[in-house]
Each structure stands twice: as C-alpha cells, then as structure tokens.
C-alpha cells in the first residue's frame, strides 16, 4: 500500500489527523512547546517528517516567532502549545498578532472534554480568555469536526483583515480515531470579506484627489497585507502626491523617493505631521487611525476631506470622520482607481501640486537635534551606523518597543515592505527578538538584526538558546542606556523627573553571550561601532552587541499624548521655551 | 437613545458571549436580550434592546457583523408602522375581596389572560408592546404585585423587510 492509500482507508488518531491537516494547508514549519495535554501530537510529530518543529524556551516566544515568520512570508505562522499555562503564556502573542493584523493559527492543548469546566490540572478556558483578542476561536469537541475547523481556521486567519485564530484541542479528541478526509472548501455564511471596492466610490475618490490642492496619502499596514505597495507608489507618482506612512506602513513607500514624507504621528517627522495637518484631501489606505497617528482627534485634519480605504468596515469612521469610505482590499481598490485614471478623463493642476510639494520640502528643514550633545555614544549614531553597514545587504530589522524602536523607525531608511518587523498596536516589549528568529527561519539568506533596548531584551532573552540550537544567526544590537528609556522620557517631561522604577540594570551581556555560546561584543565609543558591526555581520552565528549609550537622550520629534500632531517638540530647548504642557 | 438590534447567528456555544462582550466592554447596559432558535434550528436569533449614542451603536453593529458566527445584523426601525415589538409578562398579583373583581376588569380591558388562580392570588399572562406592558403594570402595582417575570423584547419588521438567510 502506498502512503496515499493508507491515508484514505485506515482510521487515524486525532493527533495524526491534525498533522495531515497541517500538511494539506502547506505547513512545513511550526513553533511550539510540548506538555501533557498535547503529548499525543508530539508523539506523532516524532515520526512525521514533513513538518519541522522549532522548540522555543517560552510559549510567548513561539507566538512572536510565528508572527515574525508570517510578517516575512505573508503566510500564517503556526503554533502548538499545551493546555493551561502553555495556552495562557501564548495570550500576549495572540493579542500582538491581532492588533497588528498578522495571520497566525494557534493550537492549544486542552484537558479531556469530560473534564472541561471541572478545574482539572492544567485547565484554562482559552476560548473564553482569547475571545476579545483573536479573530476567531474554536473548541474542538469531536474529532470529526477537526479537519473542517482547521480548514476554516487557516481560511479566516489569512483572508479579509488577517489575524490570529485559536483552536483548542482536548486530549480525548486527539486519541480517538477517524477516517481522514480533508474538506475542499469552507462554508462560512457569516464571513464574506468585501475585497472589491465600490467602483462609484473609487471614481469619487479619484475625482476628489484630482481636485485637491494640497493632497496627502497615508499608507498603513493594510498596504503590506494586500501587497499593494507598487500600486500605491504608482498612484502617488502619477498624481504627484506626497506620501506619509504609519509605523506599520513603513517600507510601503521608499524613503528615498522625493514624494516620501516618512513616518507621521507621535514620533513621526515634523514635516509629515505638518503636511497631514495642512492638507485639504487625505487619502488613507489600510490604516485604522490609531491615536499615535492622529493625536488630538478633534483637531486632526479638521478642514480636510478624508478618503479611507480599508478592508474592515469597523475601521471606517471609527476614529476619524470619513467623507468617502471605500471598503475593500487596498490592491484591488488602487487598481480600479489607476485604471480609471488611465481613461484620461481626470486631470489635476500640476502647478498647484508642485507648489504644495515645495512647501512640504521647506518643512523638511525642521529636523530634531540631539537632546544631550556630548562625547558619549549616542543611540541615534548607533542606528545610523547600522543603516550604513547594512543598507546594501538584504536586511530585515526587528525591534522591541520603546525609544530604540522609534529611533529605528525614524533613522533607518527602509526601502522595502516587510523589512521592518515591529510591534505597533499592542506595543509588546520582548517581541522583537523572537520575531527576528521567526524572520530568519522564514528567510535564511537574509541578514536579520534585532535592535533592542536593555529593558526589552531581558523579557525574552532565554531565546538565545533557541538561536544556538537551530544555528539561527540573528544579530542583536542592545541599545543599553540603563533605563526603560521611553517611560523615563515621559517621567522627565511630565512627572518632574521622578524616575520611578525606570532605572534598570542588565547582566554583563558579553559574559551572558559566552554562557549561551554566542558571540558577545561591547561597544562604548563611536570609533568601535563599524568594526563591531563588521565582525557581527561576518560571524556565522548569533551575536549580541552591547552598545553602552547616553542615558538621557530623548526621542524627538515628540507630540505629547492628546495634543494635535502639529504641536511638536523638536529638542530640549524647544521644550524650555514653553511648548507642551 | 434606545435601540433594538436583531442579530442572526449560528446556533453554537460561545456566540452569545461574544455578542454580549461587545456591549459590556464599552460600558453599555443591555436592557433586554432574548435568544431562541429560528425555523432552521442551526441558527438563532438574538434580539437586544440597549441604550447608547448612535455613533457607538453603529460601531457595535459593524463589530457584531465582523464576528465570524454572525450571519446578519440589523438595527430595527423605531417607528411602529415599520416594526412590531412585543414583550411577554407573567405577573402574580394579590387578589383578595374587592380586588379580585378589579383585577379581572383590568385584565379584560388589556386582553390579558388569567392562567392560574388561588384563594389569594391571580397569575396574569399578557403580551404587548412596552407601553402597554408598562401601563398594565402601573395599574396592577397598587393592588400588590407578588412576583413578576418579564421576557425581553422580541420584534419583527412589517411587510417584506424580513431578516432572513437570504444569501
């Protein structure tokens, strides 16, 4: 009998059915951590050669690694963890993927169906716990439902607005037997994401964009999900419109393009914020207008007409009033608008456009300056050197959350989508390092950097061992300022320099590197940076670089929470002269 | 502002929780909620009466729609010529001496039924719109209401505005 015949005729255990389903979905890599309730799958996995399992050191890291994998490949990341604590440890990672809309399918073990609700050992109601932080979830009560549920889970995770789907697998489901059959299609009458933008709305949008005198495009994460960056660039260039990106949209518009305004928002470029504040038509694609983008909502684009393209109707008019809503996939919508423009019926006044672009160029002189100019190594200098050393290589940068994240977003000139991997919505410290591991597994030829803070890196530093086990050559650059810098920055400005619980100590990272068996380097002077980076890039394995930097450097530009985005603090001095509070 | 929302869902555990979560996380009280299977028992209809401003209710409706197991979400029209709504009450009233006749008269006026009788009580069954229910209760209250069970509101649109599985 061939393998094919066996799968057709013999009854299989639930554990085997599970793996066959994953194979049908084209899964060849999963991230996970074993435990009692999920043992039967791990036993099958032992014999199953088509799927490679990556063992992490903490379930949270498995989720972030799977998300890093999803961000690089565009395919769902798959996670397998056990019941109870395995499942609850996964929750932060599930929420992180939910808020940044990346597809994950997360399988968690569960106690026997007859024990559910009895407070059994390692029982947690993961379906109840994750209800508000995942796109959908399932509790499998019968083995016969399992193939259908897995098919639906993958379909839901990757279509519409992507997101994580959780599937809870009771132990007795995994041990019962059935004849394996995988459904051809899903039947979900309540789930029909709208991919095609309404053509009349698209025409109205194009007409408004042509009539505009001071238009601006905001490109968000949805442009990455729908792979619409070429269409977006095409439209911006054809209509001569400046483009700002959100944090999640970084890379969707090349920063060396002269229409690029870079990132906008709380720590975005002053000129991007000014352009958005002064525009008369705002064309927002694939962004949900997070408060970090809009600042004071009442004063955000208050005189502008807003066109909003999003696949999720809930995002439209949730925060910002929208004049022309277009529900659909960004790529399809932009294609319709571009085709409409090709008819030649729509004209705009290019002289007016050139004046507007000249104005945005003038604003570009408002650059932030070092907060603490002195001879000590500045974090911004480190980021600039990393950029110069890696700009011509196929580099992926993963960051944690905090000051280093904002400096990276501001100073590293990203030119490709999927090049920056960062936690935008949930803002999860400890995300970057495991995400970098997942990114490296997804693309083994890429040079993967994890730019981290000394606070964040200690949240998932145990994953160094995962890197060593699987020879994953991630390069970690710790921007070590001895503080939880972003919180310290708020304390300095808004809490009378009460540095409450923000000074944070670190282990000796060079010794720690040695203990794990990775390369450790310490850098304290600017003239040591390039040599260290060369060494790290050429080293065939994981590296941890400890950059000891100025502790009191601030992230500028800075819009204080709740202020309008054109009220920007650019330096310590501007600070003294009475802006802000 | 009062809103009545009719939600057609898959008849599966957990969906009611998801629907209620969308209200409770915004601090909105659900005034009444009824759930029962439709003609096709693989689906259920949830009728929710709530108070909230229009913009937030619109957002909640969109988010209800986004749930995978919701088939259709409709905010029912407020005017009585477009929509019929009913509540059911079962009300146990103290009925002694003269009050026994008085209760019977009130019941007759409202077209309510007496479904249980004891020497000291009547139990009244009545269905009607919220205004009628409130009026009846106001009349019964001085006579001594011992126990009241009140269903949530159910509502249906007039003419051809059915909410159904039309996809």
Looking at residue B167, what is its pLDDT? 44
pTM (predicted TM-score) = 0.92
Looking at residue B23, what is its pLDDT? 86
Residues A435-463 have pLDDT tens digits of 999 999 999 999 999 999 999 999 999 99
DSSP secondary structure code for residue A564 in this structure: B
ipTM, two decimals, is 0.83
The answer, yes or no, to whether residue A7 has pLDDT greater than 60, is no
Contact A205, A324 (CB under 8 A): yes
Q: Can you say how many angstroms the Cα of residue A81 is from the centroid of all Cα atoms in its chain?
A: 22
- Residue A2 — pLDDT band, cuts 50, 70, 90? low
Give the SS3 label for residue A304. coil
Closest approach of chain B CAs to the CA of A291, in angstroms? 17
Q: CA-to-CA distance for A345 and A339, rounded, in angstroms?
A: 11
Residues A462-471 have pLDDT tens digits of 999 999 999 9
| Cis peptide bond upstream of A557, omega within 30 | yes
Give the SS3 label for residue A468. helix
Looking at residue A324, what is its pLDDT? 97
Looking at residue B54, what is its pLDDT? 85
Q: Can you say how many angstroms the Cα of residue B78 is from the centroid of all Cα atoms in its chain?
A: 14
Looking at residue A576, what is its pLDDT? 42
As a whole number, mean pLDDT of residues A328-346 equals: 96
Exposure of A45 in the CB half-sphere (CA atoms within 13 A): 21
Cα A146–A39–A85 angle (5° rounding)? 90
- Note if A23 is an active site residue: no
Q: Which one of A11, A114, A121, A501 is the catalytic residue?
A: A121
% residues pLDDT > 90 (chain A): 92
- Choose the most confident range, by mean pLDDT, from A478-482, A574-578, B162-166: A478-482
Q: Which one of A20, A25, A44, A59 is the catalytic residue?
A: A59
Residues A516-569 have pLDDT tens digits of 999 999 999 999 999 999 999 999 999 999 999 999 999 999 999 999 999 999
Q: Number of CB pairs < 8 Å for A and B?
A: 38
Contact A115, A85 (CB under 8 A): no
Closest approach of chain B CAs to the CA of A316, in angstroms? 9
Exposure of A530 in the CB half-sphere (CA atoms within 13 A): 3
Q: CA nearest B61 in A: which residue?
A: A314
Tell me the average pLDDT of chain B.
90
Is B63 at the interface with chain A, CB within 8 A? yes
Looking at residue A578, what is its pLDDT? 37
Closest approach of chain B CAs to the CA of A250, in angstroms? 27
Is B14 at the interface with chain A, CB within 8 A? yes
The answer, yes or no, to whether residue A125 has pLDDT greater than 80, is yes
As a whole number, mean pLDDT of residues A133-139 equals: 96
- Residue A580 — pLDDT band, cuts 50, 70, 90? very low
The answer, yes or no, to whether residue A66 has pLDDT greater than 50, is yes
Looking at residue A325, what is its pLDDT? 97
- Which residues in chain B touch residue A190, judged by CB atoms under 8 angstroms apart? 9-10, 67-72
Q: Which helix (H) or strand (E) holds B30?
A: strand B30-37
Contact A573, A503 (CB under 8 A): no
Contact A454, A421 (CB under 8 A): no
- Residue B14 — pLDDT band, cuts 50, 70, 90? confident
Q: CA-to-CA distance for A160 and A193, rounded, in angstroms?
A: 5
- Which residues in chain B touch residue A131, judged by CB atoms under 8 angstroms apart? 14, 17-18, 21
As a whole number, mean pLDDT of residues A6-33 equals: 90
As a whole number, mean pLDDT of residues A481-490 equals: 96
As a whole number, mean pLDDT of residues A256-277 equals: 94
Looking at residue B81, what is its pLDDT? 81
- Which residues in chain A touch residue B74, judged by CB atoms under 8 angstroms apart? none
Query: Picking from A406-410, B25-29, B37-41, which range would have the lowest pLDDT averaged per residue?
Result: B25-29
The answer, yes or no, to whether residue A216 has pLDDT greater than 60, is yes
Looking at residue B56, what is its pLDDT? 83
The answer, yes or no, to whether residue A579 has pLDDT greater than 70, is no
Looking at residue B13, what is its pLDDT? 84
Q: CA nearest B59 in A: which residue?
A: A314
Is B163 at the interface with chain A, CB within 8 A? no
As a whole number, mean pLDDT of residues A102-117 equals: 96
């Amino acid at each position: 009998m061939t393998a094919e015949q066996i799968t057709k005729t013999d009854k299989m255990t639930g554990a085997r059915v599970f793996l066959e389903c994953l194979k049908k979905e084209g899964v060849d890599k999963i991230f996970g951590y074993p435990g009692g309730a999920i043992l039967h799958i791990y036993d099958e996995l032992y014999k199953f050669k088509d799927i490679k399992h990556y063992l992490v050191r903490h379930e949270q890291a498995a989720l972030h690694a799977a998300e890093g994998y999803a961000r690089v490949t565009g395919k769902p990341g798959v996670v397998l963890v056990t019941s109870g604590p395995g499942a609850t440890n996964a929750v932060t990672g599930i929420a992180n993927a939910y808020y940044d809309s990346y597809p994950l399918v997360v399988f968690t073990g569960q106690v026997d169906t007859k024990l559910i609700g009895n407070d059994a050992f390692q029982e947690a109601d993961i379906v109840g716990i994750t209800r508000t932080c995942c796109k959908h979830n399932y509790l499998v009560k019968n083995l016969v439902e399992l193939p259908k549920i897995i098919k639906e889970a993958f379909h839901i995770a990757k279509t519409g607005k992507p997101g994580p789907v959780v599937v809870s697998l009771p132990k007795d489901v995994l041990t019962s037997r059935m004849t394996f059959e995988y459904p051809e299609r899903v039947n979900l009458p309540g789930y029909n994401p709208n991919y095609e933008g309404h053509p009349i709305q698209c025409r109205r949008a194009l007409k408004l964009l042509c009539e505009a005198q001071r238009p601006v495009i905001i490109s968000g994460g949805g442009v990455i999900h729908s792979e619409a960056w070429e269409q977006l660039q095409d439209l911006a260039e054809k209509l001569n419109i400046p483009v700002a990106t959100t944090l999640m949209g970084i890379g969707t518009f090349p920063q060396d393009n002269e229409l690029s305004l870079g990132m906008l928002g709380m720590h975005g470029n002053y000129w991007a914020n000014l352009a958005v504040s002064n525009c008369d038509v705002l064309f927002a694609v694939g962004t949900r207008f997070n408060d970090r983008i809009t600042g004071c909502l009442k004063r955000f684009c208050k005189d502008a007409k807003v066109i909003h393209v999003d696949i999720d109707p809930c995002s439209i008019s949730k925060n910002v009033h929208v004049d022309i809503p277009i529900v659909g996939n960004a790529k399809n919508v932009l294609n319709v608008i571009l085709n409409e423009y090709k008819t030649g019926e729509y004209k705009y006044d290019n002289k007016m456009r050139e004046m507007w672009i000249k104005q945005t160029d003038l604003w570009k002189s408002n650059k932030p300056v070092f907060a603490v100019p002195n001879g000590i190594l500045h974090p911004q200098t480190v980021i600039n050197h990393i950029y110069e050393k890696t700009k011509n290589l196929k580099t992926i940068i993963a960051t944690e959350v905090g000051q280093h994240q904002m400096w990276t977003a501001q100073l590293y000139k990203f030119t490709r989508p999927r090049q920056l991997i960062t936690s935008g919505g949930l803002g999860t410290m400890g995300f970057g390092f495991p995400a970098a591991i997942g990114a490296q597994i997804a693309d083994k030829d890429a040079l993967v950097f994890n730019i981290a803070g000394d606070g964040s890196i200690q949240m998932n530093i145990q994953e160094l061992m995962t890197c060593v086990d699987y020879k994953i050559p991630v390069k970690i650059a710790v921007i070590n300022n001895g503080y939880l810098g972003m919180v310290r920055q708020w304390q300095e400005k808004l809490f009378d320099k009460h540095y409450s619980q923000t000074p944070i100590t670190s282990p000796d990272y060079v010794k720690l590197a040695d203990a794990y068996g990775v390369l450790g380097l310490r850098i304290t002077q600017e003239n040591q940076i390039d040599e260290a980076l060369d060494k790290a890039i050429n080293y065939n394995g994981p590296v941890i670089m400890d950059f000891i930097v100025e502790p009191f450097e601030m992230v500028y530009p800075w819009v204080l929470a709740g202020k309008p985005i054109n009220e920007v603090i650019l330096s310590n001095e501007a600070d003294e002269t009475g802006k802000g509070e | 502002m009062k809103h009545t929302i009719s939600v057609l869902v898959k008849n599966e555990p957990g969906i009611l929780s998801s629907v209620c979560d969308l209200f409770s996380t915004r601090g909105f009280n659900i005034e009444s909620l009824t759930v029962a299977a439709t003609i096709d028992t693989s689906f259920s209809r949830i009728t929710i009466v709530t108070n909230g401003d229009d913009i937030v209710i619109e957002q909640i409706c969109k988010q209800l729609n986004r749930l995978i197991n919701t088939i259709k979400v409709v905010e029912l029209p407020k005017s009585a010529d477009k929509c019929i709504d009913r509540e059911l009450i079962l009300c146990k009233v103290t009925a002694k001496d003269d009050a026994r006749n008085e209760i019977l008269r009130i019941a007759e006026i409202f077209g309510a039924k007496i479904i249980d009788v004891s020497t000291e009580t009547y139990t009244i069954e009545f269905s009607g719109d919220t205004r009628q229910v409130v009026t009846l209760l106001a009349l019964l209250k001085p006579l001594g209401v011992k126990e009241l069970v009140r269903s949530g509101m159910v509502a249906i649109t007039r003419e051809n505005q059915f909410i159904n599985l039309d996809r």
